[in-house]
Amino acid sequence: MGVTIFRGLHPQLRREAAQLYWEAFGGKLGRVLGPEVRALEFFEQVIRIDLCFTAVNEAGALVGIAGYKTPAGSFAGGSWSDLHAVYGRWGGRWRGGLLWALSREIDNDRFLIDGICVARQHRSKGIGSLLLSALYEEAAERGYRSIRLDVIKDNWRARALYERQGFLATRTAKLGLLRYLFGFAASTTMVRPVEARE
């Protein structure tokens, strides 16, 4: 079955995108952004349809998505007001504090990937590589010379894909006590050079 990569996300696919993102990252975000029904409501509300690439099969179903960050925002970041709208004032406040602690680092020198996910039944079919290629092109068009992502240290399958694509691990950061909330102990930063277009 053929897959086509599109820049951006069709608005009608927002719900599918939220579900796909949660399928991929719910394991590490579940204790903070759960229950699932609230998390899906949050992601459906906050995902930026202009800051991603999508993989769609011949039937029109969303089978993969790759988000990225820019100085203007990130694919699945949201704001304090978004958190308050979904989780209430107190629920939004503590969740926002924890999410900020997890992703407070800013990198102005490298193009930042904000999550790559492929539907479970469509993995190992080259879709992740296609999405990465689109991200390399985007980084080059924006004038970046390298692209960066962070992967859970124990996610060997994803890390193997990134290494085949030329990414190198640059550092590993431990979460400390936050590991009990996010369900993983450390994440590894990986970087790959891209040919910038002047």
DSSP reduced 3-state for 67 = strand
How many other CB atoms sit within 10 Å of the CB of residue 182?
20
Domain spans of the chain?
A: 3-145
Regarding pTM above 0.75, the answer is yes
Residue 78 has pLDDT above 90, yes or no: no
**Which CATH superfamily groups domain 3-145?**
Gcn5-related N-acetyltransferase (GNAT) (3.40.630.30)
Q: What is the pLDDT of residue 180?
A: 64
Q: How far is Cα 164 from Cα 136, in angstroms, rounded to an integer?
A: 14
Of 85, 110, 125, 94, nearest to 1 (Cα)?
125
Tell how strand 146-152 and strand 186-193 pair up.
Answer: antiparallel
Of 116, 137, 87, 84, nearest to 17 (Cα)?
116
Residue recorded with tokens 């308050």: 84
Query: What digits encode the pLDDT tens for the residues 155-187?
Result: 888 899 999 999 999 999 887 766 767 777 888
Query: What digits encode the pLDDT tens for the residues 114-135?
Result: 999 999 999 989 999 999 999 9
Is residue 87 within 8 Å of residue 94, measured between CB atoms? no
